[in-house]
Structure 1
Amino acid sequence: MSDITRREFHLGAAATMAGVTALSTGLMTGGTALAAESQKPLSRILFGSCCHQDKPQPIWDPILKLEPELFIFLGDNIYGDTRDMSELKAKYDKQAKNFARLRDKTPTVAIWDDHDFGENDAGKDYPFRDQSKELFFDFWKEPASSPRRRDGDGIYGSYLFGPEEQRIQVILPDLRYNRDSLRTVTTREAYRERDLVGFGPYLPIKEDEKTMLGAAQWAWLEEQLQVPAKIRLIGSSLQFLSSQPGWECWSNFPHERKRIFELIEKHRAEGVIFLSGDTHWAELSCQTDNVPYPVWDLTSSGLTETWPNVSPNVYRWNDQSFAGQNFGGIYIDWEQDDPMIVMEVRDVSGNRVLQHSILLSSLSFK
């Protein structure tokens, strides 16, 4: 399997365009989309985050060359950063031209992060979250009947692809709309000291009642983990496994991070892999302690953005990271009795910079 993306997993343009129809006309039930057209198994899924509309985007050339069957946008899909909704819309309009080639050929699903939500590191206190939500839905052509267009709550949603024995569930939680305020260091000196080793200004929140998801979304997420699927890709706009880098991540809400593991255990939800963005660097993380089976988090960021001061992370696999422009990929070889899952990151030229393979059986309760 010297180049799985060119040989074993090549399905061709016809299957790709069928997927577009499936996403746009799929039957929506309880927040999960499953269409007759999407019964073909997905074997090649790409994803990315952090794409500035004003910067060159040569990265779409290697992405399109790999002919993805699905592309997942994990947030910061534009850099809006405004309370002027006409300005936010104008930035979406500009990005639409940059995204046109991909969206014409490839089915896409998306979640937002802070910069397309509207403001850096913002949560529920952002006063234009509902107006921003409508612009997000319109840009991504979310159907008027979609359960993601719920009133007074976030944009979370999920999708199902493939036949029963090869079914992939894509779960997209919203980490912005209901998020409580973050806890920060209190002095500029403390921030400077942390920055020297790559730590950001945020600290773990001690109060269990503080939340990123909100009660309604937690109930929805628990339901999603009970939907039958072989592989569950949880597309998180923030890193799930990183060990408190001081930037935005699930570790800022340790009780909610723990709750995810408890729900996986409670409902024996197998096949979970996290895909994440936000950081402006790429890495693969794995946690094996206090979890029902090894949990992986493949981070890809950004499509245009970079950050040289990579933060420490005790869960980083083989202590490898990549700080250049990049995109992520998940490939599944369904032809094996125990399907192989390949997780990788490629640079702006399409060169592979990180890769690791696992068997599907390793993501199960023994």
Structure 2
Amino acid sequence: MLRFIKTIRRFLILIVLVVSPFSVVAQGTLRAGPMVGHVDMRSATIWVQTNAESNVRITYRDNVVGKGLATATRKTRAEDGNCLSFVLDSVEPGRTYEYHVIVDDALVPEPVPNTFRSRPIWKWRGTDLPPYTIAVGSCHYVNQPGYERQDSAGNESGYGSEYEIFSSIVEAKPDAMVWLGDNTYLREPDWNSRSGMIKRYSHTRAHEASRTLFATVPNYATWDDHDYGPNDADRGFWGKDHALNVFKLFWANPSYGVMDKPGVTTSFEMIDMQFFMLDDRYYRSPNGRKDGDHTILGEHQIQWLIDALSSSTATFKVIVVGSQFLTDNLRKECFSRFPEERERIISLITENKIPGVLFVTGDIHAAELSKLDRSDAYPLYELTSSSLTAGSNKDIAKQPNTYRVPGTEYGAHNFGLLSVAGPKGQRVLTMRIMDKDGKEVWKREVSEQELR
């Protein structure tokens, strides 16, 4: 009888040890996050940032088997901004997962259920391909008293507003969110030190308005000048390695850099659409330099891009870059300032007979659709979406762009949606610009046949 009582006692203690992390609720342990990063068929990445050095793990379960799973426990470090990215490597295709963040053996409260859906198996499954939607946007500015612009009387004026746009993005139910650059705005006190960059990224990421988007939608990002360094920063920026390190701390992309070269270049697939995320800062020549090479991407990145496009079997191949590509507006920091590189990329796409290519860009604090008609190949489209919350370019209609599709200019806060639907061989891409309230500003449809 005594042995039986001891056995029961050990069993009850074991239950307490297993259940206790979920019976204690951690208050104020996360500074930011969680954020869903890259999600594939058999893995997913979850990012978190704690307030102080802490032991963290992620638990998760799917909606089919329901078996509880967990990552190993890892410790956040102050020198890395207390940021960690966890790879959930027991994911199965096409399932919805709920996940929980455990900090120092206590469950972190969830204002909304933390969920993600793994990518489905779809190839060689007949002609019925899944429909999907990708949200895109750029230029996110979060105000911080004491760090804002001042007028002549010393009064601060915040540059960011209308943060409700993130609720509108969530309501659109995208399968992923692609950040097109200027995803935070480094200020003068920030960009001269790694610690300053970490503080700026931390402040932006912790903003309450974007929490649900980060917690429930896979997020991918490239950068532009303001989340890289000073305005119009290029390869000469002395702090670019700090900037790259901090970018990698705060995002959870599938990879960083190509061909053994550092940078934020990466690629990912969404059913029959593949994204090619380019780095327009790390190798960019100074705008004012007259001698030497004149490049935005650098030779290695161009070669990788054409290689990757040539080998891709995706119906739609989306080139993502912070700077506008097609426009001929020389007053903007666009590829028009680097005409040889722009024409070379277009020529290489044409010479290699690569179908289905289009561009998605940000930067200009306005939205527009550009179209380059070509006599020897299909037209090239470029969807520009900007800005999410930073100041808007209300004069976009007055600014030159020979290739702008009439009626697509929009000078207020916006985000873009790329939706793909239709049977195999007859897929249709619908491009939309949405206002801050999630109302459609305009839409255009492009069939896969048009891009062949």
Matches within 5 A, 1:183-222: 183=288, 209-222=293-306
> Displacement, 1:53?
2.2
Aligned counterpart, 1:321: 409
Contact 1:242–1:249 (CA<8 Å) still a contact in 2? yes
Q: 1:46 aligns with which of 135, 140, 145?
A: 135
Alignment partner of 1:275 is 2:360: yes
Q: Output the CA distance in 2 between the equivalents of 1:268 and 1:208.
A: 31
Superposition CA RMSD, Å:
2.7
Matched-pair contact (CA < 8 Å) for 2:41–2:120: no
* TM-score, normalised relative to structure 1: 0.79
Q: Give runs of aligned pairs for residues 72-151 of structure 1, distance below 5 A.
A: 72-81=178-187, 82-98=191-207, 99-142=210-253, 146-148=255-257
Shift of 1:241: 1.0
Query: What's the CA shift string for 1:66-120, capped at 9, x where partnerless?
Result: 1100110000000014212212111111222233211211111100000001110
1:58–1:150 CA distance, 2 compared to 1 (3 A)? farther
Pick from 52, 57, 70 the counterpart of residue 176 of structure 2.
70
Structure number with greater Rg is: 2
Residue 268 (structure 2) pairs with residue 159 (structure 1): yes
Q: Conserved in 1, the CA contact under 8 Å of 2:179 and 2:221?
A: yes
Map Cα deviations across residues 36-66 of structure 1 (whole Å, 9 max, x no partner).
8453546201100000022341101110001
Q: Distance in 1 between matches of 2:376 and 2:177?
A: 28
Q: Aligned partners of 1:20, 1:94: CA distance in 2, in Å?
A: 32
8 Å contact from structure 1 (residues 176, 212) kept in 2: yes
Alpha carbons 1:225, 1:267 under 8 Å: kept: no
* Structure 2 portions without partners, runs of 5+: 1-36, 46-86, 90-117, 123-129, 144-159
More strand by share: 2
Change (3 A) 1:177 1:19: same
Q: In 2, Cα distance between the equivalents of 1:359 and 1:152?
A: 36
Q: What is the total number of aligned residue pairs between the two structures?
A: 315
Of 85-94 and 107-116, the range deviating more from structure 2: 85-94
Counterpart in the other structure of 1:338: 426
Aligned to 2:393: 307
Superposed CA offset, 1:137-194 (max 9, x none): 1100346xx35388753211111232xxxx211001101000001149xxxxxxxxxx
Partner of 2:319, secondary structure, is strand
Which runs of 4 or more aligned residues in structure 1 lie more than 4 Å from their structure 2 counterparts after TM superposition? Answer: 16-23, 149-152
**Residues 136, 61 of structure 1: alpha-carbon distance in 2 compared, 3 angstrom cutoff:** same
* Alignment of 1:61 onto 2:167: yes
Equivalent pair of 2:220/2:252 in contact (CA under 8 Å): no
Residue 355 of structure 1: how far off its partner (Å):
1.2
